[in-house]
Amino acid sequence: MKIVMVGSGYVGLVSGACFADFGHEVVCVDKQESKIAALKRGEIPIFEPGLTELVRSNAAAGRLSFTTDLAGPVSAADAVFIAVGTPSRRGDGFADLSYVYAASREIAQALGRYTVIVTKSTVPVGTGDEVERIVRELRPDAEFAVVSNPEFLREGAAIEDFKRPDRIVIGTEDARARQVMADVYRPLYLNSAPILNTSRRTAELTKYAANAFLATKITFINEMADLCEQVGANVQDVARGMGLDNRIGGKFLHAGPGYGGSCFPKDTLALIKTAQDYGTPARIVETVAAVNEQRKRAMGRKVVAACGGSVRGKTVAVLGLTFKPNTDDMRDSPSISVITALQDAGATIRAFDPEGMEQAKAVLPGAVTYCGNAYECVEDADAAVIVTEWNIFRALDLDRVRTLMRSPVLIDLRNIYRGEQVREKGFVYADIGRGISDPVSSHAIDAA
């Protein structure tokens, strides 16, 4: 199959490289010339485990190529995927669809034979209808169908998620398009991934419903964590006790500093807006989004409390800046709110992240001192805060950390340590929702 990816960002690049790895002939298109030039040299603009090797090997095999020219590859394509950005629009939080519509117009002009146009970007319900209208208006003669095929890729595990998905959702009412999509995903059928054929609007909504539900699950356990702290219970045990019920499931029940990233915050806002527009407000999701925002800010107060009520004139070491490990992505990361709150309260900030430092410099407030590693970061600090659960923070030499710090206060916003293990090293230790340190309650729930 001949496939074109319009937009060579995170989703486009991962999907394009994986489709090429299935044996399809894939062309990734992007407007940004410097990005395409770098990709041609085998340089990958984002950090995603395994992606560099996948891109290079498929490019070398002649199945994956990069260009700024959309028209040529689209005219010969079986399927054209739209994988451009859909940022939150300033003001109302609704997804900004200008890139999707601009791509649709360009694709329309270039259409040759029967082509399936696929929206891969997360787009609000009804966007497929609008894409179809735009293309039809510009090219009444063209033979095409518009399909919704949302992605469910987690950053840091995107290739695994693409190749071994829980399900594939294909939204179209057009039988011929459904056949083309079946051929595109044929290699995954062999892996027995469930395929869900739905209407286009159903597919569009499924993506938002899934992300909003996961965000709700996280926010629910975060509130239980706060309650655990007050009543003296252990949230990890509560989560395990809940999650072993198959109807609930153990994943996405890790209490923490609140969710961030490029999807949950944006997609919950977009769903809230859609639901309001249609006169059926999604009140649970509205509350989830508001509670999560408050939580990120509350984490700063938690650090202040662990420091005895004030951080004025103190130095706080922040370990981990990205919204989660194995990514360099800083979008809506809780670290931004934590650092801002601590600086507002008069603290000096030192910070370290294994992959996200460059991105962090672009979004964090000024006056942060960036350090080369975790030990340099905690030097002379009055408190250290683990914001992101990178593996290297799980195995810190705590004796060395204590000796380096001015005062040994550790705030573990990801519960990666056991309280007694850290306290017996002489630390003041604060965590999330483990109100009473219980030596038998050390098991974590299954990793999400």
Catalytic residue set: 263
Query: Applying CB under 6 A, does 218 fall inside the site for ligand UDX?
Result: yes
- Considering only the stretches 149-157, 270-278, 287-295, 416-424, report the one whose residues sit in contact with ligand UDX under the rule CB under 6 A: 149-157
Query: Applying CB under 6 A, does 264 fall inside the site for ligand UDX?
Result: yes
Query: Applying CB under 6 A, does 163 fall inside the site for ligand UDX?
Result: no
- The order of strands in the sheet holding 144-148 is 64-67, 25-29, 2-6, 79-82, 115-119, 144-148, 168-171, 195-198
x-marked contacts with ligand UDX along 27-66 as a string, rule CB under 6 A: ----------------------------------------
Query: Applying CB under 6 A, does 335 fall inside the site for ligand UDX?
Result: no
Shortest-Cβ-distance residue relative to ligand UDX: 263
What's the CA gap between 134 and 108, in Å, rounded? 8
What's the CA gap between 344 and 308, in Å, rounded? 17
- Whether residue 94 is annotated as binding a ligand: the answer is no
- Whether residue 331 is annotated as binding a ligand: the answer is yes
- 69 or 160: whose CB is closer to ligand UDX? 160
Decide: 103 and 31 in contact? Cβ < 8 Å: no
What's the CA gap between 107 and 101, in Å, rounded? 10
Nearest to 441 by CA among 183, 237, 264, 274: 237
What's the CA gap between 234 and 437, in Å, rounded? 8
Query: Applying CB under 6 A, does 448 fall inside the site for ligand UDX?
Result: yes
What's the CA gap between 29 and 47, in Å, rounded? 19
List the one residue from 184, 263, 275, 377 that touches ligand UDX (CB under 6 A): 263
Compute φ and ψ for 144, nearest 5 degrees: -160, 165
Give exposure, 271-302, as e/b (b: 16+ Cβ within 10 Å).
bbbbbeeeeeebeebbebbebbeebbebbbeb
Query: What is the smallest separation between the CB atom of 251 and ligand UDX, expressed in angstroms?
Result: 7
Query: Applying CB under 6 A, does 162 fall inside the site for ligand UDX?
Result: no
List the one residue from 21, 25, 30, 155 that touches ligand UDX (CB under 6 A): 155
Query: Applying CB under 6 A, does 328 fall inside the site for ligand UDX?
Result: no
- Considering only the stretches 39-47, 153-161, 240-248, 310-318, report the one whose residues sit in contact with ligand UDX under the rule CB under 6 A: 153-161
What's the CA gap between 164 and 267, in Å, rounded? 23
79: enclosing H helix or E strand? strand 79-82
Query: What is the smallest separation between the CB atom of 279 and ligand UDX, expressed in angstroms?
Result: 27
Interface residues for ligand UDX in 229-258 (CB under 6 A)? 252-254, 256
What's the CA gap between 338 and 24, in Å, rounded? 45
- Whether residue 154 is annotated as binding a ligand: the answer is yes
- Whether residue 266 is annotated as binding a ligand: the answer is yes
How would you class 325 by CB atoms within 10 Å of its CB: exposed for 0-12, middle for 13-18, buried for 19 or more?
buried
What's the CA gap between 180 and 201, in Å, rounded? 19
- Considering only the stretches 181-189, 210-218, 292-300, 421-429, report the one whose residues sit in contact with ligand UDX under the rule CB under 6 A: 210-218
- Considering only the stretches 105-113, 260-268, 288-296, 342-350, report the one whose residues sit in contact with ligand UDX under the rule CB under 6 A: 260-268
Query: What is the smallest separation between the CB atom of 332 and ligand UDX, expressed in angstroms?
Result: 8
What's the CA gap between 368 and 360, in Å, rounded? 10
Residues in contact with ligand UDX by CB under 6 A are: 151-155, 211, 214, 218, 252-254, 256, 259-264, 323-324, 448
Which residue ranges make up the annotated binding site? 30, 35, 86, 122, 152-155, 207, 252-256, 260, 266, 324, 331
